[in-house]
Amino acid sequence: MRLLVTGGAGYIGSHTCKALAAHGHLPIAYDNLVYGNPWAVRWGPLEIGDIADRHRLDQVIRQYRPEGVIHFAAYAYVGESVKDPGKYYRNNVAGSLTLLEAMRDHGIPYLVFSSTCATYGVPEQIPIPETHPQRPINPYGQSKLMVEQMLRDFQLAYGIQSVSLRYFNAAGADPDGEIGEAHDPETHLIPLALEVAAGQRSHLTIFGDDYDTPDGTCIRDFIHVADLAQAHVLALEALAAGKPLQPAYNLGNGQGFSVREVIATAEAVTGKQIPVQVGARRPGDPPRLVGDATAISRDLNWRPRYTNLAEILQTAWCWQQKRPYFQRPRC
C-alpha cells in the first residue's frame, strides 16, 4: 500500500517508515520539519508540509493517492503544553481535523493514530487497561483524547476506519543503527542520561524525588521504538483487511522502571557515571504509568521483542555513539 505518514521524519514516525518498507509498503513521509529530521527519511519520499495546510495536503494526496494514513504529527512536550496550551490545541486538534477532512474528501479509508497513555491521567490501577477512565491532567493528553473522539465521530459519519494506539514511553533506537532519537530540545530521560554518559552534558536533572514510589522518582513503562513501529504496521494492515478491532490499544511492556532505576541501568550499559541533580517536579507528571497491552497481543498477535531495559538502552547507546559528535562509532 501507499501510506501517508504524517510526522514521518520524527523519532517514531521514521522507525515506522522503515518497518512499513520492510513489509512491502511505500511510506510517504509528510512533515513540517519543526521537530523532524530529513536524514531520518530513507525508505520513501519526503514531502514537506503542515497538517494544518489543507492546500498542501491536497497536493500531496493527489500526487501519491495514499490508501491509508498513519498520523504521528503532534507536539508532545507535556510541560510545554501546560505553559502554552494553545499551541497544542491548534496543532494537535485543529491540525488533525484538517487531516481528517482531507481524508474524507479524498476517500482515504484507514487511519492509525499515535495516541498516548497521557489520556488516562493519574491511574486508578496499575497496569492500566484500555477501559480505564480517561481524565488527562495536561493539555497534551487532553489534545490526544479530543482526536480520539474525532476519530469515533468521523467513523460514524463517513466510514473512516481508525484505531488509536496509546503508548507509554518510547525508547531505544533502530537495532541496525540507521536512525534513532534526536530531539531539539531533548527532554526524554534515556537520551539525556546517555548524553551525560557521553560527556555532552555535565549532569542529569531528576524532576522530583518525593513521589509516592519506592525511591521517590516517577515510574514509567518503556517500550522500544521498533516494537512501536511494528504495532503500527500490524494495525494498519488489520484495518485494510477488514479485521474488527477495538477503537484503541495500549502499547507497553507491562513493567515499570523508576527514573533512578533507568539511570543505574544506563551506568551499567555505558560503564560511565551519570551525575544527577534533583529539581522540582514538572507540572502534569503522574507518579506511575504502566500499561496493560494484553488486548493488542490477543487481537494482532503483537508482542514486544525488547522487554529488557538494558537491551533497550544498549540500542540507544549504540545510536548515541554514531551521532556526529563522536569521532568513531563503537557499535
Instruction: State whether 145 and 211 are in the same domain.
Output: no
| 215 and 139 in a common domain | no
pLDDT at 325: 47
- Considering only CA atoms, give the Rg of the chain: 19
Residue with cell 512501536: 228
> Is residue 44 in some structural domain?
yes
Say how many Å lie between the first and final Cα of the chain, rounded.
34
pLDDT tier at 324, thresholds 50, 70, 90: low
Task: Read off the pLDDT of residues 47-77 as tens digits, 9 standing for 90 and up.
Answer: 999 999 999 999 999 999 999 999 999 999 8
Q: Is residue 292's pLDDT more than 80?
A: yes
* pLDDT for the residue 27: 98
Q: What is the largest CA-CA distance in the chain?
A: 56
In this structure, what CATH number is given to the domain that contains residue 200?
3.90.25.10
Structural domain contains residue 179: no
Do 227 and 276 share a structural domain? no
Catalytic positions, written as ranges? 140
Cα angle vertex 227, ends 224, 232, to 5°?
Answer: 130
pLDDT given for residue 178 in this prediction: 93
Query: pTM for the full model?
Result: 0.95
- Mark whether 246 and 314 lie in a shared domain: no
User: Of 175, 179, 181, 176, which Cα lies nearest the Cα of 194?
Assistant: 181
Domain span at 261: 189-220+253-322
Q: How many CB atoms lie within 10 A of CB 328?
A: 6
Q: Does the N-terminal peptide bond of residue 275 adopt cis geometry, omega within 30 degrees of 0?
A: no
Whether the Cβ atoms of residue 218 and residue 287 lie closer than 8 Å to each other: yes
- Give Cα 317 distance to the centre of its chain: 19
Same domain, 202 and 318: yes
Q: Considering the chain, what percentage of its residues have pLDDT values greater than 70?
A: 98
pLDDT, greater one: 8 or 188:
8
Tell me: do 106 and 87 sit in the same domain: yes
- For residue 327, name the pLDDT band (cuts at 50, 70, 90): very low
Mean pLDDT of 273-300: 93
Distance (Å, whole) CA 123 – CA 135: 9
Identify the band that residue 35 occupies on the pLDDT scale cut at 50, 70 and 90: very high
Q: How many structural domains are present in the chain?
A: 2
Same domain, 237 and 216: no
Q: Are residues 240 and 306 in the same domain?
A: no
Question: Do 165 and 112 meet the contact criterion of CB atoms below 8 Å apart?
Answer: yes
Q: Is beta strand 161-167 parallel, antiparallel or unpaired with respect to 219-220?
A: unpaired
CATH of the domain at 88: 3.40.50.720
Average pLDDT, stretch 306-312? Answer: 96
Give yes or no: residues 49 and 121 share one domain: yes
- Give yes or no: residues 10 and 86 share one domain: yes
- Same domain (yes/no): 193, 276: yes
What does the pLDDT look like over 79-109, one tens digit per residue?
899 999 999 999 999 999 999 999 999 999 9
Same domain, 245 and 279: no
> What is the C-alpha separation between 112 and 129, in angstroms, rounded?
19
Cβ distance 99 to 71 under 8 Å? yes
State which of 251, 269, 299 marks the end of a domain.
Answer: 251
Mean pLDDT (whole number) for 283-297: 90
Q: What is the mean pLDDT of residues 9-20?
A: 97
